[in-house]
Structure 1
Amino acid sequence: MEIYSEYSFWWLIPCLIISFGLAYLLYSRSEKEKGFSKGLRYTLTALRTLVLAGLMFLLLGPFFKYIERQVQDPLILIVQDNSSSVILAPDSAFYQGEYITQLGRLASNLEESYEVLAYRFDSEITNGLDIDFQGNRSDIGSTLTSLQERHINRNVGAIILATDGIYNRGSSPMNVASAAGLPIYTVAMGDTTIKRDLLIENIVQNRLAYLGNDFPVEVMIRADKLKDRTATLRIARQGEVLFTRSITIDDEDFVTTVPAVLNASSTGRIRYDVSLSVQPDEFIQENNFRSFYMDVLDSRQKILLRFAAPHPDIAAIRQAIESNENYEVVLESTARASGDLKEYDLVITHGIPQRKTGGAEIIDRCREANVPLWVIAGLQTDWSTLRNSGLGVDVQLKGGDNTTDASPSFERDFRLFDLSGELEEALSEWAPLQTSFAEFSVDNAAKALLSQRIGIVDTEQPLWFFKETDGHRSSVLLGEGLWRWRLQDHVSRDGHDRFNELIGKAVQYLAAKEDRRQFRVYAEERFDEDDPIIQEAELYNASYVPINDPEVTVTFTDEEGNTYEFLFNRTQAGYYLDAGRLPNGTYNYTALVSLEGETYRSSGSLTVEAIQVEAVRTQADHRLLYRMAQSTGAEMFYPNELDALEEALLNKEGIVPVIYTTEQMTDLIESRWLFFLLVLFLAIEWFVRKYKGGY
């Protein structure tokens, strides 16, 4: 601790002189104090001098500076791979027994010189070395990143990474290691030899099919050291074999893709089992079997696209909608209009109502049938009829048949559905639509997605808006030329993703059915076997006010009829369930709740898919581990060399304690002890003078 001042300490001399002078005058010239003994007067003079000098000294702004030094020992992080691929080796017994003991001994020995923290990882990182080698995934990159984030302000000396180098999730560990800035010592586990094996490497298929339709499946097969063997590929559903193919393996490093076409003959979530005939001397047989699931729907949502005259917009809209297999588009001209609109989930009109052919009655028919409507107004639109249609748009023509170009300007306040940032950016670049030269306005219930930009001026006039009246949803686009947007999207991105997103989200919003259920359960339909089963539920009373007083239970039933029952937890305005992990397979669930004497239920199904990635790649990647160690200034060791690893760490020059220095400054005037000391001096002086009759 040191004392400093804002001014030179030489000012203490005048302070002492002035203080002594004032005290001397008090006790040498006062008649009452002249009767005090000489020693008493000297003592009181000294007390008063100290008090006055102390107060004057405080005017100099003195302060204390404290310097605190903290020594932080080096931290060694031990990280053990807990994935199942580690023990897919001839010495698996060593890894599950003696190796774990040696690793614990290494941690204990290092604790004598360093601070040591141990972790295990597979798909995520966990504290401790409770190792069972049962992890379904390996994410080395995220593990290293997590370690750095957890210990960002610590004196980390080194990381010991014990793994086989196989990763099947996350980013490249080499890139993460190079950017870590600290030595990463690797322990190379697993077996680097290529094993005799036949396996299903991947299955490629759509997740959705429609009843009665055929759907393609591609099975990727790999075989190592099985040249001149023959294998049989089978695809089955509920024990019924649907596809068989004989495969001749003509290379020691054999890879092939087998295409198959299956028929969706029943609805629901259907499980298909894919298998390869087992070879007698295969290293792993489990990777010869794999399953996939298909959601087979009974029907698509039907959309009617009615037009007054052929136009390139019609093809652009149709192609964008049909990029989503959930929709089926029916084209119909006004000249051949027929059928009941109730069979459609959405009606889109282009150029209707038209001045010559009319067609305005479809607007009223959609409203009566409560079928959502999207009107695309073109240059031949009968604006007078559209203005009186009740769709919420007012049109005041300014130049007869004159037209204008209106570029899209995205409205930031639009909240009916979200658009991606890339699409919002593209809208500002796409070509203008052609519309009539007019003044457009909409009523208060309308929500504009796009407004018109004329030249470089953003106007408040709508270009595309949405409206909902008494549960009936409608939309009006005040211009034609959407086909140019699709063309520009293809030119700039070599695809139509952004244009398809724009049309798709508008259609999805308009065609969505309003959910009036009082009890609803929300859940994902697919989970990996290492994911917890999460569900949320909402309950509404007769006034559709959310409540959560009654208990909600749910029962899961697997394919063998086994049941699993759970109770939802209450949240602030609903319910939440974490059912943990369930064995892989398909489950039907039913959630129940009782409200005012009536039982409500919500049912559905979900699939827990097996993870087999650890059995797909079994050859350890020691080359990766060597490169990681070398690039960070460390070394690679094998599991039987942990003693050498300990010695290397103890002799590493850069692993040393770090001294952190902290400076703290405190103004002397804030010191309580000084305040009480000065008060004590004054109190003693006052008491003595009082006692001697000085007052």
Structure 2
Amino acid sequence: MQTETLIYIIIAGIIALLLALFQYFNKKKSVSKLDMLFSFLRFISLFAVLLLLINPSFEQIKLSVEKPDLVVVIDNSSSIKHLNQDKKVNDFFEKLSANKDLKDKFNLEYYTFGESLKASDSVTFTEKQTNIYNAFSQLTQIYKQTTAPTLLVSDGNQTYGNDYQFVSNIYNQPIYPIILGDTITYTDLKIQQLNVNKYAYLKNKFPVEAILVYNGNNTINSRFVVNNGNTTVYSESVKFSKSNNSKVINFTLPANKVGVSNYKATLVPLESEKNKINNSKNFAVEVINQKTKIAIVSDFPHPDLGTLKKSIESNEQRSVLFFNSKEILSQINDFQLIILYQPNNKFNKLFTLLDLQNKNRFSVFGAKTDLSFLNRINKNYTQDITNQTENYQAELNINYSPFIIEDLNFESFPPLLSNFGSTRFSVPFESILNKTINGVSTESPLLATFETNGRREAVLFGENIWQWRAQSYINSNSFNEFDDFVGKLIQYLASNKQRSRLNIDYESFYNGSSNIVIKAEFFDKNYVFDTRETLKIIVLDKLSKAQKTFPLILKNNNYQVDLSSLPAAEYDFTIKASNENISKSGSFQILEYNVEQQFLNANVTKLQQLATNSSGSSHFINTTQDLVSTLINDNRYVPIQKSSKNSIPLIDWKYLLAIIALSLGIEWFLRKYNGLT
């Protein structure tokens, strides 16, 4: 309280006392006890009212003790149960939760993880994937500003993600791995990896690469066998020793039947092997009847040409050949789609032939495009001729309806060089990407598609798309997203199927360890994406005839359903709209494979390195008696006493109002009782 305020309070007390004495002792010869009581009550009332006018504030200091967090992160993947460590984990969890000393020193926080981190103290050991690095990456956001030593209860076997032994670079907390499993080395044969393309072409042979690994000290013989149903399609004897403990086998298999062909590769196990699950792997190949042949026509070289070829041919169902405007004329019937790169008046005969055959096409315009020629020969759209160029960036049209487009963060892509001026369409069109300048939309299409007279056509009003593919790689460390975007556009243009109000996107087969996500789009009668519809999928197991129904969830600009919970089998499915009589069917197969069952031992080396890098210590699950004492006696983890100072004004003190009311009430009552006015 300030000195000035204290002086005001003293003055208020003197004034209140003088007023009370003046009222009850003025012109009185004698003072009774009752007058003294009345004076006191009046003094209390006046002084309290004056205090309210002064409204002094008082500082209130509260002390609190903040305990450090003890974060317990438990591996919930199926490899824990496969290594018979699930009971030990539950016992350890119960002992930890019941330890009074730990509870007194720490706030215990429990998490489980598989593919992602979850705040939970319930473990089921059913997760199909393990990403330890991702779990710590999420914990970094939670415990960035606090002291939180972390117990990692895991076998250390990560199935995907960044190397977690260096996670201390982002997670600045001591980590104490509790190692599940043992360090005993068992004799083991396994198929480390199978490399095979998802697609093959009818009457061709597709390559398969198998990497086989042996862990043991003796020289042994085995056999590598590939079966298609009950038929053995490939077999080879293999020999391993301590020094020659791996082998790579390359071979080809014939693609004789259209559709999905299922195979099982087996490395015949030894009688002494403990884990025989990793001796077999299933794989599948979808056999395609023919390739889609695409011609790119240009009269000059440009980096965009190579980019289009690489993106299109990333799907082995497609092949690309280059031509100039004259060479293509005699071979135009060999191709399902023609890509016209910056056409000029030399393309006159080609345009005439394309119109005569009503053939699908994809036109790319740029600085060297002859706009006068195009405006003269083309009846579907015209481009203003200004003899100026402009750099335009792309903006995704989320309402584009013919097929599903994923947002590749187009706003981060470099601008394309385009002709300055407006584009006017004389036919209905849909824009995939719109032009923007400095983030401001021009409401003009950058990439558009339209259908007329049974023909599909796309137009890209800009060159230097090779920079987009490079930027996509920088954004995602992969060309796949951009190549898929181009692939969907090519698939749409190379097909003459009629547009459907319900479109589905799925694979013919899935590996058992991968996410099984089926996507769908639903459009109203104007072919505008409809978010009001309710879609459901009915899945039928072909063998057991068991039927399950799942709802599709609206996510971004499509509907999705995750079927990862389904066991390995062959399935038929139907997606239905609830409000309209529209449905679509398909089939897929889930291959039996559990990556979590491929491990025999704990990854002790990485877990111990993780402890060292983070200034923690590692412990085996059977020898954790000293862990509690280590945590309790570590001076880095001490409770922190915190004080908080609050300034409370007297006017907020409700009891003062009660005192004023009580003193005035008592004075009034006593005066009436004694017959005074």
TM-score (norm 2): 0.78
Q: How has the CA–CA distance of structure 1 residues 226 and 296 changed in structure 2, closer, same or farther, with 3 Å as cutoff?
A: farther
Which residue pairs with 1:15 in the alignment?
Answer: 12
Once residues 586 and 347 of structure 2 are traced to their aligned partners in structure 1, the CA distance between those partners, rounded to angstroms, is 51
After TM superposition, list the pairs within 5 Å mapping 1:151-166 onto structure 2.
Answer: 156=148, 158-166=149-157
SS in 1 for 2:626: helix
The partner residue of 1:590 within 574, 594, 597 is 574
1:70-123 Cα deviation digits (max 9, x unpaired): 44556545555455656777xx5xx56678646644543456754656666555
8 Å Cα contact 2:537-2:552 kept in structure 1: no
CA shift for structure 1 position 536: 6.2
8 Å Cα contact 1:106-1:642 kept in structure 2: no
The partner residue of 1:225 within 206, 216, 224 is 216
1:501-551 Cα deviation digits (max 9, x unpaired): 886576466557787445555556665546776656676776779598999
Give, as a single letter, the amino acid of the residue that structure 2 aligns with 1:410.
Q
| Gapped regions of structure 2 (runs ≥ 5) | none
Which residue pairs with 1:349 in the alignment?
Answer: 340
| Gapped regions of structure 1 (runs ≥ 5) | 399-403
> How much identity, in percent, do the aligned residues show?
22
The partner residue of 1:256 within 244, 247, 255 is 247
Kindly indicate whether residue 263 of structure 2 is the aligned counterpart of residue 268 of structure 1.
no
Which residue pairs with 2:379 in the alignment?
Answer: 390
SS in 1 for 2:182: coil
8 Å Cα contact 2:522-2:533 kept in structure 1: no
SS in 2 for 1:167: coil
Once residues 411 and 532 of structure 2 are traced to their aligned partners in structure 1, the CA distance between those partners, rounded to angstroms, is 39
Once residues 497 and 3 of structure 2 are traced to their aligned partners in structure 1, the CA distance between those partners, rounded to angstroms, is 74
Which residue pairs with 2:422 in the alignment?
Answer: 441
Which residue pairs with 1:466 in the alignment?
Answer: 448
CA shift for structure 1 position 228: 3.8
CA shift for structure 1 position 289: 0.6
8 Å Cα contact 1:408-1:451 kept in structure 2: no
Kindly indicate whether residue 391 of structure 2 is the aligned counterpart of residue 408 of structure 1.
yes
8 Å Cα contact 1:70-1:659 kept in structure 2: yes
8 Å Cα contact 1:224-1:253 kept in structure 2: no
8 Å Cα contact 1:521-1:536 kept in structure 2: yes
CA shift for structure 1 position 9: 1.1
Give, as a single letter, the amino acid of the residue that structure 2 aligns with 1:586.
E
Once residues 418 and 362 of structure 1 are traced to their aligned partners in structure 2, the CA distance between those partners, rounded to angstroms, is 34
SS in 2 for 1:192: coil
8 Å Cα contact 2:375-2:381 kept in structure 1: no
After TM superposition, list the pairs within 5 Å mapping 1:298-313 onto structure 2.
Answer: 298-306=289-297, 309=299
1:212-263 Cα deviation digits (max 9, x unpaired): 3332221111112265433322222223222223323254351222112223
Give, as a single letter, the amino acid of the residue that structure 1 aligns with 2:257.
S
SS in 2 for 1:280: coil
Q: How has the CA–CA distance of structure 1 residues 674 and 166 changed in structure 2, closer, same or farther, with 3 Å as cutoff?
A: same
Which residue pairs with 1:401 in the alignment?
Answer: none
Q: How has the CA–CA distance of structure 1 residues 120 and 283 changed in structure 2, closer, same or farther, with 3 Å as cutoff?
A: same
Which residue pairs with 2:284 in the alignment?
Answer: 293
Which residue pairs with 2:549 in the alignment?
Answer: 567
Which residue pairs with 1:374 in the alignment?
Answer: 363
Give, as a single letter, the amino acid of the residue that structure 2 aligns with 1:223.
Y
Once residues 593 and 448 of structure 1 are traced to their aligned partners in structure 2, the CA distance between those partners, rounded to angstroms, is 26
CA shift for structure 1 position 286: 1.8
After TM superposition, list the pairs within 5 Å mapping 1:71-220 onto structure 2.
Answer: 71-72=65-66, 76-81=70-75, 83=77, 95=85, 101=91, 104-105=94-95, 107-110=97-100, 114=104, 116=108, 121-123=113-115, 136-145=128-137, 156=148, 158-177=149-168, 180-220=171-211
After TM superposition, list the pairs within 5 Å mapping 1:610-625 onto structure 2.
Answer: 610-625=592-607
8 Å Cα contact 1:551-1:567 kept in structure 2: no
Kindly indicate whether residue 45 of structure 2 is the aligned counterpart of residue 51 of structure 1.
yes
Once residues 637 and 471 of structure 2 are traced to their aligned partners in structure 1, the CA distance between those partners, rounded to angstroms, is 58
CA shift for structure 1 position 291: 1.0
Worse overlay, 272-281 or 481-490: 481-490
The partner residue of 2:650 within 668, 675, 689 is 668
SS in 2 for 1:17: helix
Q: How has the CA–CA distance of structure 1 residues 586 and 64 changed in structure 2, closer, same or farther, with 3 Å as cutoff?
A: farther
Give, as a single letter, the amino acid of the residue that structure 2 aligns with 1:443.
R
CA shift for structure 1 position 190: 2.4
CA shift for structure 1 position 200: 0.4
CA shift for structure 1 position 583: 1.9
Q: How has the CA–CA distance of structure 1 residues 175 and 243 changed in structure 2, closer, same or farther, with 3 Å as cutoff?
A: same
1:609-662 Cα deviation digits (max 9, x unpaired): 444434544343333333333444443333443333344344444444444444
8 Å Cα contact 1:463-1:479 kept in structure 2: no
Worse overlay, 474-483 or 100-109: 474-483
SS in 1 for 2:546: strand
Once residues 627 and 171 of structure 1 are traced to their aligned partners in structure 2, the CA distance between those partners, rounded to angstroms, is 15
Q: How has the CA–CA distance of structure 1 residues 37 and 521 changed in structure 2, closer, same or farther, with 3 Å as cutoff?
A: farther
Give, as a single letter, the amino acid of the residue that structure 1 aligns with 2:273.
E
Once residues 65 and 113 of structure 2 are traced to their aligned partners in structure 1, the CA distance between those partners, rounded to angstroms, is 30
Q: How has the CA–CA distance of structure 1 residues 282 and 60 changed in structure 2, closer, same or farther, with 3 Å as cutoff?
A: same
1:330-383 Cα deviation digits (max 9, x unpaired): 666457636888x965443346461795554357557xx483542547757371
Q: How has the CA–CA distance of structure 1 residues 290 and 7 changed in structure 2, closer, same or farther, with 3 Å as cutoff?
A: farther
Which residue pairs with 2:414 in the alignment?
Answer: 427
Q: Aligned-pair RMSD on alpha carbons?
A: 5.0
SS in 2 for 1:641: coil
Once residues 502 and 541 of structure 1 are traced to their aligned partners in structure 2, the CA distance between those partners, rounded to angstroms, is 24
1:563-606 Cα deviation digits (max 9, x unpaired): 2312344868998766662222332323456877x6x5422233
8 Å Cα contact 1:5-1:60 kept in structure 2: no
8 Å Cα contact 1:275-1:290 kept in structure 2: yes
Which residue pairs with 2:623 in the alignment?
Answer: 641
Give, as a single letter, the amino acid of the residue that structure 2 aligns with 1:292.
F
After TM superposition, list the pairs within 5 Å mapping 1:488-527 onto structure 2.
Answer: 507=490, 516-519=499-502
Once residues 446 and 594 of structure 1 are traced to their aligned partners in structure 2, the CA distance between those partners, rounded to angstroms, is 27
Which residue pairs with 1:67 in the alignment?
Answer: 61
The partner residue of 1:337 within 329, 339, 358 is 329
